[in-house]
Structure 1
Amino acid sequence: MIVAVCAVIATVLFITRGGDEEASASPTPAGAAAQNGYGQSGTAGYGQSSGAAHGADAQNEAAEDAQSGPTEPQPVTEVDKTFLVKVRQAGLWEIPAGRLAQTNASSEAVKRAGLHLMDGHSKLDQLVREDAKILGVAIPDEATAEQQGWVKQMENARGAEFDRLFANLLRASHGKIFATIGEVRAATQNDLIRRHARQANQTVLDHLEVLEDTGLVDSATFADVEKSVTPK
């Protein structure tokens, strides 16, 4: 009987001690898991994301301030001014030349080239007047005396004579200004002049091609342009 009672007491003591050991052991891994999962990974992840977002916000604010803040006026050089004047003068004689091609030419290719001149220089002329007003550049209201003389020659020509005269006068003029446009675009510090030079470049290139498509441009015209644009 005594042996049985002792056995029961021993069993109760064993179970109680085992439960106490399990209870005391369990907080340690749970605490470690919490520290690793939140204290390092969680906290570090949140801190990094928040810092990156704050940095991006600061950069965006700085960019907005730079855009909204005062800016210095962009320089307008004498080269820029001369460029606008030449574009204006080109339109003042090439648009009338394009009109003459519709009435005096015998070649359909020449008439087509004339239409390209009228369209392209009408758009450029509107742009040059807008930019000149913004930049405070005085532009002329008439072509040069030489350009007016070219228009007179074409007014007095008809048929095949007009076709050849038109093709060579206009191809020479466009070839020379084409080189100047590249120089202006490469050197100017003014955004409006850059935009204008890009548009002028595209327009003049189109005109060079339609004039060459007439098949009437003489080798002497190409030689004259080459001599004019070759660096001295």
Structure 2
Amino acid sequence: MRPTRRAVRPITPLRAAVLISVVCAAIAVLALAVRAGTDQASAGQPAVAAQHGSAHLAGSDSAGSAARDRPAEPQPVTEVDSVFLVKVRQAGLWEIPAGRLAQTHAASEAVKRAGLHLLDGHSKLDQLVREDAAILGVTLPDEATEEQQGFVRRLENARGAEFDRLFANLLRASHGKIFATIAEVRAATQNDLIRRHARQANQTVMDHMEVLEDTGLVDRETFREVEEAVRPS
């Protein structure tokens, strides 16, 4: 007896459309699954990178903190540095009184103006030198040298035109000599405070030399005296 064959149903256009829709849906689901797995793997990588980056930054910050916390090495204060501070202090101890005398004893307005520059500049330098000396442990004098005190006495005993010429020449000679010393100290010092002080002193002394020269009273002999004093031996 022959087996009965099942009749094959013909594929109608409607049935073909349904089959195509099912296949497309399956492909879409599979694609979404693959994409989801890829995104999850990618998301894990930045997290690891971020973790490594954070560790690196933390390490850098720790190194920076250690560098900041490390005590700075003490800067040397040489004998030249100490002598320089002493000279700046002594200059103020006689040039500030000289500037005051110019306001009462001078006849020239240019000399009075120079005296005001001396008062202002050396008052600021004197405050700075006392602060720096206290920090660096340098002992400063309370009196000018004997020679400088003698300059003040000569100015006290002069009046008018005599005072003007004496003032211009004494002060210009003094500033010219210390100006050369400032350059030597600034060129050689290893101390930051001394460098700052030398820079301020340089600007102050330059200003004073110019206002003294502006009086028109500085003699050629004064410039020769300074040249002789600062000439290399």
Name the counterpart of 1:24. 30
Rate the CA distance shift 1:37–1:119 in 2: closer, same or farther, 3 A: same
Q: CA deviation at 1:21?
A: 3.8
Gaps of 5+ in 1: none
1:163 is aligned to 164
Q: What's the offset of the Cα at 1:32? A: 7.8
Q: Quick check: 75-84 or 145-154, which moved more? A: 145-154
Distance 1:16 1:206, change over 3 A: same
Q: Secondary structure at the match of 2:11?
A: helix
Q: Structure 2-normalised TM-score? A: 0.81
Q: Hey, what does 2:3 align to over in structure 1?
A: none
Per-residue deviation, 1:22: 4.2
Identical columns (%): 65
**1:79-98 CA-partner distances (Å, limit 9, x unpaired):** 01100110111011111111
Separation (CA, whole Å) in 2 of partners of 1:71 and 1:81: 21
Q: Determine if the alignment matches structure 1 residue 177 to structure 2 residue 178.
A: yes
CA 1:35/1:189 → structure 2, altered by over 3 Å: closer, same or farther?
A: same
Q: TM-score when scaled to structure 1?
A: 0.81
- More helix by percentage: 1
Establish whether residue 126 from structure 1 lines up as the match of residue 127 from structure 2. yes
The one-letter code matched in structure 2 to 1:137 is: V
Give, in angstroms, the shift of residue 18 of structure 1.
4.4
Q: Distance in 2 between matches of 1:126 and 1:17?
A: 94
Aligned-partner Cα distance in 2 for 1:27–1:175: 90
Partner residue in 1 for 2:205:
204
Query: Which is greater in Rg?
Result: 2
For the pair 1:47 / 2:49, whether they are aligned, the reply is yes
- Alignment partner, residue 138 of structure 1: 139
Return 5+ residue gaps in structure 2 as ranges.
1-5
C-alpha spacing 1:39/1:61, structure 2 compared with 1 (3 Å):
closer
Alignment of structure 1 residues 1-232 onto 2, 5 Å: 5-8=9-12, 11=16, 12-28=18-34, 30-31=35-36, 34=39, 38=43, 43=46, 47=49, 51=53, 55-56=56-57, 58-232=59-233
**Cα 1:178–1:56, aligned 2, differ >3 Å: closer, same or farther?**
farther
- Structure 1 pair 31–147 and aligned structure 2 pair: CA distance change class (3 A): same
* Structure 1 residues 23 and 59, CA gap change in structure 2 (3 angstroms): closer
Task: Quote the Cα distance in structure 2 between the aligned partners of 1:227 and 1:49.
Answer: 72
- For 1:142 and 1:210, the matched residues in 2 are separated by 26
Q: Measured at CA, do residues 60 and 10 of structure 1 come closer, stay the same or move farther in structure 2, by a change above 3 Å? A: closer
Q: For residue 17 of structure 1, report the CA deviation from its aligned partner.
A: 3.8
Question: In 2 relative to 1, CA 64–224 (structure 1 residues): closer, same or farther, beyond 3 Å?
Answer: farther
How many Å separate the matches in 1 of 2:165 and 2:60?
61
User: How many residues align structurally?
Assistant: 226
Q: Residues 60, 115 of structure 1: CA spacing in aligned structure 2 closer, same or farther, 3 A cutoff?
A: farther
* Equivalent-residue separation in structure 2 for 1:22 and 1:67 (angstroms): 60
RMSD: 3.0
Q: CA deviation at 1:164?
A: 1.1
